[in-house]
């Protein structure tokens, strides 16, 4: 029985050895065209579909990553460009504002030189937010020679008077303030020479009172200071007549006056340090304004 069992076992061993020998021979065999081993050729053949799939996936993933990196870089560059554009726009606005300020200061300086008295240029640094008092604050005080009731003006026309003063700042009450009281302007109409009192209306306009109803008043007529109020020297342009409610022999006109100075846009003003009796102006220039 032992011999019978060894017969099949020996056969299996023989077959195994034969298969191994054939495998070794196959491994050593080479392709006559390429000269490489058959095993390597079979391995490459078997692995090529898998390698192709993996290679395609890696290529797609690499392209996606590069596209993402390019997109992120483009976004960063766009953000940098936006910041640069914003900075340049700010610089342009600053240069434009500086140019406008330089132009205003040149006009103010030229007008200041034409005045027959000492004066100082001041910048408006604040406004009263209350609707009852129309006042502004300037950055010059008694250290610069500013005094109470000093007349304040621009090249366009009268602004008002100083009502409070400190060493480095002052308060200016505008001619449109109806609380001006003793600071009301005694004015004269440029054509008819009729005299009246210009008072504020707490709006953008003034009113002229006490002009006799028999006196002719024309729309567009310019009103000048007379100097009779003891505050404003004679000859300052105050405003322009924009409407007239006719009076009569016994009733004075109701005249609405638009200030020539742009009170809602004040940035620089001139404060008179001295008080000449008369301001000589080119009336043709005033009429054109």
Average pLDDT, whole number, for the chain?
78
Same domain (yes/no): 124, 107 = no
Same domain (yes/no): 153, 245 = yes
Instruction: Judge whether residue 233 has pLDDT over 80.
Output: yes
Same domain (yes/no): 149, 90 = no
Tally of structural domains, the chain = 2
Mean pLDDT within 234-246: 92
Same domain (yes/no): 128, 187 = yes
Domain that holds residue 165: 120-278
Among 69, 89, 114, identify where a domain stops. 114
Mean pLDDT within 138-151: 93
Mean pLDDT within 209-218: 90
Residue 123: pLDDT band by 50, 70, 90 thresholds?
very high
* Burial degree of 273 (CB within 10 A; 0-12, 13-18, 19+): middle
Q: What is the CATH number of the domain that holds 207?
A: 2.40.10.340
Same domain (yes/no): 146, 264 = yes
Asked whether residue 288 is domain-assigned, the answer is no
Q: Could you report the per-residue pLDDT of 43-82, keeping only the tens digit for each?
A: 656 656 665 665 566 566 667 777 777 787 888 888 888 8
3-state secondary structure the chain: CHHHHHHHHHHHHHHHHHHHHHHHHHHHCECCCCCCEHHHHHHHHHHHHHHHHHHHHHHHHHHHHHHHHHHHHHHHHHHHHHHHHHHHHHHHHHHHHHHHHHHHHHHHHHHHHHCCCCEEEEEEEEECCCCCCCEEEECCCHHHCCCCCCEEECCCCEEEEEEEECCCCEEEEECCCCCCHHHCEEEEECCCCCEEEEEECCCCCEEEECCCCCCCCCCCCEEEECCCCCCCCECCEEEEEEEEECCCCCCCCEEEEEECCCHHHCCEEEEECCCCCECCCCHHHHHHC
Q: How far apart are CA 87 and CA 35, in angstroms?
A: 70
Same domain (yes/no): 174, 194 = yes
Same domain (yes/no): 246, 162 = yes
Asked whether residue 212 is domain-assigned, the answer is yes
Same domain (yes/no): 160, 84 = no
Asked whether residue 255 is domain-assigned, the answer is yes
Same domain (yes/no): 110, 131 = no
- Provide the pLDDT for residue 159: 94
Instruction: Judge whether residue 182 has pLDDT over 70.
Output: no
């Amino acid at each position: 029985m032992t011999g019978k069992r060894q017969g099949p076992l020996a056969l299996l061993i023989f077959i195994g050895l034969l298969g191994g020998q054939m495998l070794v021979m196959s491994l050593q065999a080479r392709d006559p065209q390429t000269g490489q081993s058959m095993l390597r050729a079979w391995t490459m053949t078997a692995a090529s579909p898998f390698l192709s799939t993996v290679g395609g996936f890696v290529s797609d993933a690499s392209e996606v990553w590069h596209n993402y990196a390019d997109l992120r870089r483009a976004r960063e560059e766009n953000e940098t460009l936006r910041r640069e554009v914003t900075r340049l726009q700010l610089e342009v606005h600053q240069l434009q504002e500086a140019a406008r300020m330089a132009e205003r200061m040149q006009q103010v300086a030229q007008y200041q030189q034409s005045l027959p008295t000492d004066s100082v240029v001041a910048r408006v640094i604040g406004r009263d937010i209350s609707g009852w008092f129309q006042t502004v604050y300037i950055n010059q005080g008694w250290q610069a020679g500013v005094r109470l009731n000093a007349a304040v003006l621009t090249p366009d026309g009268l602004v008002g008077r100083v009502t409070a003063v400190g060493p480095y700042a002052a308060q200016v009450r505008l001619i449109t303030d109806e609380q001006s009281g003793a600071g009301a302007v005694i004015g004269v109409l440029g054509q008819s020479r009729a005299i009246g009192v210009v008072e504020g209306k707490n709006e953008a306009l003034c009113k002229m009172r006490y002009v006799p109803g028999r006196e002719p008043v024309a729309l567009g007529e310019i009103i000048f200071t007379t100097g009779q109020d003891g505050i404003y020297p004679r000859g300052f342009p105050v405003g322009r007549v924009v409407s007239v409610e006719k009076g009569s022999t016994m009733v004075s006109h109701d005249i609405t006056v638009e200030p020539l100075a742009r009170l809602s846009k004040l940035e620089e003003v001139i404060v008179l340090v001295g008080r000449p009796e008369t301001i000589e102006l080119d009336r043709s220039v005033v009429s054109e304004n």
